[in-house]
């Protein structure tokens, strides 16, 4: 069971890391487009500031989720494994 918990934890960590990378790729590509369309330098700076705030906030939240998963992985994944086992027995 311990090996299954570690496998599930690694999978979730990989998904969170991939999502974070994807988030920044989308933000950067969006900022490139917005920068070319913005009518003034002020609008560009405001949009860049908003994108940075959104990116940092989302990244911080995702890192908090990683910390929560690491701290409580045994409890969270044991419950998940037990529930999935119970669902298999019902079918």
Give the pLDDT score at 50: 96
* Alpha-carbon gap, residue 57 to 87, rounded angstroms: 37
The residue extents of the domains of the chain are: 1-89
The gap from C-alpha 80 to its chain's centroid, in whole angstroms, comes to 20
What percentage of the chain exceeds 70 in pLDDT?
A: 92
Mean pLDDT of the chain: 90
**Whole-prediction pTM value?**
0.79
Give the pLDDT score at 5: 86
Q: pLDDT for 39-79, tens place per residue?
A: 999 999 999 999 999 999 999 999 999 999 999 888 888 88
- Name the phi and psi angles at 39, rounded to 5: -75, -20
């Amino acid at each position: 069971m311990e090996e299954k918990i570690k496998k599930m934890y690694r999978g979730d960590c990989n998904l969170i890391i991939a999502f974070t990378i994807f988030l920044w790729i989308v933000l950067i590509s969006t900022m490139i487009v917005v920068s070319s369309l913005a009518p003034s330098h002020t609008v560009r700076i405001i949009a860049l500031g908003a994108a940075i705030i959104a990116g940092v906030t989302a990244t911080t939240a995702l890192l908090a989720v990683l910390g929560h998963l690491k701290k409580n992985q045994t409890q969270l994944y044991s419950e998940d494994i037990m529930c999935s086992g119970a669902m298999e027995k019902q079918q």
